[in-house]
Structure 1
Amino acid sequence: MDISPYETDNSVSCRLTSQIPDVCRKEDCCLGIDEAGRGPVLGPMVYGICFCPVSKKEALKDLKVADSKTLTEAERENLFQKLDEAKSYVGWALQILSPNTISTSMLQRTKYNLNALSHDTAIGLVQYALDSGVQLKEVYVDTVGPAEKYEEKLSQLFPGIDVTVRSKADSLFPIVSAASICAKVARDHVVKSWKFAENLGEVDTDYGSGYPNGTESISLFSDPKTKFVRFSWSTAQTLMDSKAVTVHWDDEEEDGEKAAQRQNNRSMLSYFGASGGDNGQNPTQQTHRFFTERRLRSLNTL
């Protein structure tokens, strides 16, 4: 698998795609969705879709695809090779969500949790297939969150497509198993060949699968400072709390946003009360610069 487009800048997310088989633009198709790397504290999370004509479901079974977690790395590589060789009727697409993307999404002021990120990524991949001309009639998804709500959400977004969301879908539907294999192989390649942009000196790359309970993973960021780490994970936060220097930000003045919030919390009637002073402001109340800089003042009359 060629992951070089992602390696050019592994701090941002990247989409890798196969060619779209001509038959997928002509016949009704099924599509499976699964991910790899949801739990690890190191490395990306990869979402994958795999699609083929409904008439080729049995041919897909003949490839003996299975849930990627039940396969060895060599078996996954071999099955991905078979899927790639079946390009006359099988297509795939992968969305690699970088650790940096995951961290900044989950730590931003307006919280964007992993479930929402997962849903939006899966939706984007389905839309990619539709925009590419794939004649989707069936979509099978390994659930994230409550299956019924997720299924309802996807059905509303993609009317006319029969959507099935199930727990352990990767072991129930071959097309989801195929997507699982594509995602897992891509993640394995990315983790193994990760290029550290930071000046870390000698790095021990024996960091295992990157799960929080792995001693190999913990040793990599005992002094965490690389974008290979998901800093939104509690494992990373615990280490940062114990090893990093605490910084306190003391604002000399209340910032504009807080001032605006304070003003918004005032009763609307307060803006029409008796005034004192030339500008209609209460002389005993000091106006924040947020309002003075914008020449905003209270109204006495309409």
Structure 2
Amino acid sequence: MDMSQFEADNTKNCMIESTLPEIVKSEPCWLGIDEAGRGPVLGPMVYGVCFSPLSFREKFGEMGFADSKTLTEEEREGIFEKICASSDMMAWIVELLSPTFISNGMLGRSKYNLNAISHDCAIRLVQRALELGANIAEVYVDTVGDPEKYQAKLKNIFPNIQITVAKKADALYPIVSAASICAKVCRDRALSKWQFQEKITVNDEGYGSGYPGDPKTKRFLSDSMDKVFGFPQFVRFGWSTASVMLQKSAVGVQWDDDEEEEDKDSVKLTSFFQKKGHDPKLDRHSYFSDRCLSSVDSF
């Protein structure tokens, strides 16, 4: 797994893929989708897909795949090596979603919540497999949000593929378990090789699992927080764990109120650039312009 592109700039998303054996192009395949790192306050979230011919389904199930969360790091690495060694019958793709991207999406003016981020990433990975020439006939994915709505959404985008969205899909379908392992191994490696652009030094105990309840993670957050500039980009600012800590411990900032009531006799500079007779009350709200929405005169 060549992670050099992400290591060179971990503020940007990065997609990594294995080579595709010809058999996944010629035979109909099943494809599993799963993620690693949805809950942590630290590091990237990683989505992975794994796909293999349906004719190998029974053999595939004998390889000992399991939900990555039930395995040790050593066990996950061992199974990932098996996946790579079976490059004649399967392929995988992962996408790392940087914590910077997640924070910007969740805190931006037009909110991009984690469910929408997850859905879009899963869709991108299926589309990428198809672009590479994989003959995808069936897709299995662990649900994010309502399973029926998610399944309908995917079916609308991929009408020629059989879609199955299920809770605990990583425990039900070996192909999803394999995707889970690919995603988790990728995230573990990203965390272990993380380059802090802020040049901070991490103490010997590290930063733990990244989950908000981990004492090591809490200590890392406390130690790495700058009272003026906040946290390093390794941290997801949109998580309540981070925002509460900033509210309690960071330096308070008083912003000038742009909406402050002005003197009734004063003239705004922008009024000189408006058309004669222009009524600012008739301007469209930014909600519509941000989303490129326009009025429809007729149906």
TM-score range, shorter chain: 0.7 to 0.9
2:88 pairs with 1:88: yes
* Structure 2 counterparts to residues 132-281 of structure 1, below 5 A: 132-201=132-201, 203-204=203-204, 206-222=206-222, 223-224=224-225, 225-251=231-257
Alpha-carbon distance in structure 1 between the residues aligned to 2:35 and 2:184: 7
Q: Tell me the CA shift for residue 15 of structure 1.
A: 0.5
Q: 1:158 to 1:249 in 2, by over 3 A?
A: same
Q: 1:250 to 1:21 in 2, by over 3 A?
A: same
Q: Tell me the CA shift for residue 205 of structure 1.
A: 5.3
Q: Give the TM-score taking structure 1 as reference length.
A: 0.85
2:277 pairs with 1:297: yes
Q: 1:66 to 1:253 in 2, by over 3 A?
A: closer
Q: Tell me the CA shift for residue 207 of structure 1.
A: 1.5
Alpha-carbon distance in structure 2 between the residues aligned to 1:112 and 1:292: 36
Q: Give the TM-score taking structure 2 as reference length.
A: 0.86
- AA at the equivalent of 1:229: V
Alpha-carbon distance in structure 2 between the residues aligned to 1:137 and 1:298: 57
Structure 1, residues 121-143: CA drift from partner, whole Å, max 9, x if none?
A: 00000110111111111000000
Gaps of 5+ in 2: 226-230, 280-299
2:26 pairs with 1:26: yes
- AA at the equivalent of 1:85: A
Alpha-carbon distance in structure 1 between the residues aligned to 2:164 and 2:202: 47
Alpha-carbon distance in structure 2 between the residues aligned to 1:220 and 1:184: 22
Q: Tell me the CA shift for residue 200 of structure 1.
A: 1.9
Structure 1, residues 104-158: CA drift from partner, whole Å, max 9, x if none?
A: 1100011110000000000000110111111111000000001110000000010
3-state DSSP of counterpart to 1:226: coil
Structure 1, residues 14-54: CA drift from partner, whole Å, max 9, x if none?
A: 10100111111111111000000000011110000000111
Q: Tell me the CA shift for residue 251 of structure 1.
A: 4.4
* Structure 2 counterparts to residues 26-45 of structure 1, below 5 A: 26-45=26-45
- AA at the equivalent of 1:228: F
Which is worse superposed, 244-253 or 89-98? 244-253
Alpha-carbon distance in structure 2 between the residues aligned to 1:298 and 1:164: 54
3-state DSSP of counterpart to 1:218: helix
Matched with 2:291 is none
3-state DSSP of counterpart to 1:221: helix
Q: 1:294 to 1:204 in 2, by over 3 A?
A: farther
- AA at the equivalent of 1:212: P
3-state DSSP of counterpart to 1:209: coil
Alpha-carbon distance in structure 1 between the residues aligned to 2:154 and 2:186: 25
3-state DSSP of counterpart to 2:163: strand
Matched with 1:78 is 78
Q: 1:26 to 1:249 in 2, by over 3 A?
A: same
Alpha-carbon distance in structure 1 between the residues aligned to 2:24 and 2:206: 41
Alpha-carbon distance in structure 1 between the residues aligned to 2:276 and 2:259: 19
Q: Tell me the CA shift for residue 89 of structure 1.
A: 1.5
Structure 1, residues 160-215: CA drift from partner, whole Å, max 9, x if none?
A: 10000000000000000000000000011111111111032454452221100001
- Work out whether residues 291 and 297 of structure 1, in 8 Å CA contact, stay in contact via their aligned partners in 2: no
Alpha-carbon distance in structure 2 between the residues aligned to 1:238 and 1:204: 26
Matched with 2:285 is none
Structure 1, residues 205-249: CA drift from partner, whole Å, max 9, x if none?
A: 522211000010011121422111111100001111111112122
* Structure 2 counterparts to residues 44-83 of structure 1, below 5 A: 44-83=44-83
**Identity percentage over the alignment?**
50
Gaps of 5+ in 1: 256-283
